[in-house]
Amino acid sequence: MTAYKSGDPTTLNRLYGRAKGKPLRAGQQDLVDHLLPQIAVPEVGEVAAQHLFGDERPLHFEIGFGGGEHMAGRADMLPDHGFIGAEPFVNGVAQALVHIAGDHGARLPLANVRIHHGDALEVLRRIPDGALSFAYLLHPDPWPKARHAKRRMMNDGPVDLIAAKLKPGGEFRFGTDHPVYLAHALMVMRRHRHQFEWLAKEAKDFLVRPGGWPETRYEAKARAQGHEVWYFRYRRK
């Protein structure tokens, strides 16, 4: 037997990593108990704009939104678009709900976001093919050990699924500060050139955060630690 078994997140059928960290503050727990059920993605059925928001609109999907800074920022920029975010870490969900609720009165609540507390792939499979305008995978867990590479979301199975759900001309955005994940992701995306066009013409296109790409707390932490951050935009063919 070998530790290097084949597979990727679409075939492993399990989540890795933490599901819960430090205890939630009272306000966060209240949002999880009361706001989350109101904006949660339904547990069964098709996940489409009409079902979630009551009309047809451009649909965005973020895989593992962390604390929700990027998702909330994009939703605030594009109030007539619909945003779906999936995150298994309850502390991240709680922080995202703070942003969605208006950051303690700093701004109006966001009405165009729906949350799935759990596996992103379970929701992604239920989105109709060609329904997404944008898909985001920002600073995913790098799983740097070679034997854990199959756990990385940037693998052939998930990329094929993302490609199926994006409409022609839709955009897949990926960001990381981890050099091992960077090399792995570039290798994977080279195998998917029949599905995606890399929207980079020069180095600054992937070394400088593009406009309309809100910073996440993970990115800010990486920069504070002196890490280089890379940004990738791919257009669905």
The catalytic residues are 141
d(CA 84, CA 105) in angstroms, rounded, equals 23
d(CA 170, CA 237) in angstroms, rounded, equals 8
Question: What element of type H or E holds 165?
Answer: helix 156-165
Contact at 8 Å (CB) between 61 and 127? yes
d(CA 151, CA 223) in angstroms, rounded, equals 25
**Helix, strand, coil tally for the chain in percent (to 5):** 35, 20, 45
Report the DSSP beta bridge partners of residue 137: 63, 174
d(CA 76, CA 68) in angstroms, rounded, equals 12
